[in-house]
Structure 1
Amino acid sequence: MSLDTFVQLFRPPWAWREFLFQTWFVARVSLAPTLMLAIPFTVLTVFTLNILLFEIGAADLSGAGAAIGAVTQIGPVVTVLVIAGAGATAMCADLGARTIREELDALRVLGINPIQALVVPRVAAATLVALMLTSLVTMVGVIGSFLFSVYFQHVTPGAFAAGLTLLVGTPEVIVNLIKAAIFGLTASLIACYKGISVGGGPQGVGNAVNETVVYTFLALFVINVIATAVGVKVTA
């Protein structure tokens, strides 16, 4: 299915309307969880890091720590959690419901490839939304770190801003975006496969959604570790 999806991704006709609808759908179910996860992750990370920096007399470097945390870890991890827990499950449930109602068989009878009509738009939409989500999480992380450090832990605003680019530059941001795109692509492929291969009626749809969460979490955390290690080697 994944190979067929990649082939159909570059073959017309493209389902633009379905792509736009799925982009809005995935963004709608993922936006609120993203914001609610990004803020506590940021506060916890920055609070712990700043305690260490204060102890060694390096509070002026809190901006550098916040930037590298938000760009390299908080952004990708929150994206993993949201894409796996919200976006992929909603996608799997939608396709699973269509499968048990035999809509996919009806499309095949009409000569329409379900992969091209349903899977490709969802994969492309999830990849795009993952890119947008990690950008949003990174911005929320940096801004939240600044507010928490300056107003609660009394770090100098100028020193915080000056330290943002000490350890993080364009290569780290590019690696972050590539990781997010891989996360969205992987999660959507797993969700679509489980959705179109579901069986056993409504209970089968529920089981497929649960399996999607587990498989997506496992796959994305492994990818995150590998991509982080490769990114560190590339940007070193």
Structure 2
Amino acid sequence: MTAVRTRDRIAQAPVAALRESGQLFALGAQTVRDTFRRPFQLREFVEQFWFVASVTILPAALVSIPFGAVIALQVGSLTQQLGAQSFTGGASVLAVIQQASPLIVALLIAGAGGSAICADLGSRKIREELDAMEVMGISPVQRLIVPRVLATMSVAVLLNGLVSVVGVLGGYYFNVVMQHGTPGSYLSSFSTLAQLPDLYISEIKAVIFGFIAGIVAAYRGLHPRGGPKGVGDAVNQSVVITFLLLFVTNVVLTALYLQLVPPKGV
């Protein structure tokens, strides 16, 4: 009997995954639609923006330093082996701006802000507060989810600039001090290889990653299973799902950018 139930669960897993994916996309579409509905919950947005920023700004600044250092040291070591030390600055800075910075910000937002959003909505769900709001004619998506998703997106954009600057400065310090690079070569290679669209794609990634972190956290918070324990499980699931979606989305966006925007000088 147990083997039959296990077999049935395995057979139903793809259907359940497709159903969950469809509900997630539906929630995302409804959130985008309700963003333009009035009244806009400005106070809720400001409170959530401040909360997400307060729990992520310091970890983001601290994490960006070792990330920039590791990238600079690794790239500097490879360029020295190839005899292309003059390109160390450009390669490391582009790696920080295009790849490391938006991912660092999104992962921290998902781990700190997203988990709190999921726990808050999940506790409201099991206390039937969301059902009560619907009975009173208040949309939980417009009232609660839209401000939280916009907050994660806004914080992601602002923190992305901070992490980029700190990561670049950290990479500059470690390359010049520890690998005995020259400041002029580091800066000149950056100006030679970098272009304005590199910053654009970084900010676009930050917006999309912030939306993913917020919407996944909200979705899992709206669908807890099994009371308080289910809320805890939903928080863990939201973080894991967000991480997976972020890395897949990053690959897609990077591939599209490299195909649509030619490198500088080409």
Pick the TM interval, shorter chain.
over 0.9
- Matched with 1:205 is 231
Q: 2:39 aligns with which of 13, 22, 32?
A: 13
Q: 1:107 aligns with which of 118, 126, 133?
A: 133
Count of aligned pairs: 236
Q: CA deviation at 1:40?
A: 1.5
Q: 1:127 aligns with which of 153, 156, 171?
A: 153
Q: CA deviation at 1:56?
A: 2.9
Q: 2:52 aligns with which of 13, 22, 26?
A: 26
Q: 1:184 aligns with which of 198, 203, 210?
A: 210
Does the 8 Å CA contact 2:153/2:210 hold for their aligned counterparts?
yes
Q: Counterparts of 1:146-161 in structure 2 under 5 Å?
A: 146-161=172-187
- Matched with 1:140 is 166
User: Unaligned stretches of 5+ in structure 2?
Assistant: 1-26
Query: d(CA) in 1 for partners of 2:107 and 2:142?
Result: 27
Q: 1:79 aligns with which of 105, 117, 120?
A: 105
Q: CA deviation at 1:220?
A: 0.8
Secondary structure (helix, strand or coil) at the match of 1:211 reads helix
Q: CA deviation at 1:134?
A: 1.6
Does the 8 Å CA contact 1:67/1:165 hold for their aligned counterparts?
no
Deviates more, 1:204-213 or 1:98-107: 98-107
- Matched with 2:77 is 51
Does the 8 Å CA contact 1:8/1:120 hold for their aligned counterparts?
yes
Q: Percent identity?
A: 44
Query: Over alpha carbons, which structure has the higher Rg?
Result: 2
Deviates more, 1:75-84 or 1:213-222: 75-84
Does the 8 Å CA contact 1:62/1:163 hold for their aligned counterparts?
yes
Q: CA deviation at 1:180?
A: 1.0
Q: CA deviation at 1:11?
A: 0.9
Letter in 2 for 1:128: S
Letter in 2 for 1:51: S
Does the 8 Å CA contact 1:76/1:224 hold for their aligned counterparts?
no
Q: Deviations over 1:168-210 (max 9, x none)?
A: 2111110111111110111111110111222322101101001
Letter in 2 for 1:156: T
Deviates more, 1:116-125 or 1:193-202: 193-202
Letter in 1 for 2:169: I
User: Unaligned stretches of 5+ in structure 1?
Assistant: none
Query: d(CA) in 2 for partners of 1:27 and 1:80?
Result: 12
Q: Deviations over 1:92-124 (max 9, x none)?
A: 111112212222123223321111000000111
TM-score (norm 1): 0.95
Query: d(CA) in 2 for partners of 1:77 and 1:114?
Result: 29
Secondary structure (helix, strand or coil) at the match of 1:72 reads helix
Letter in 2 for 1:79: V
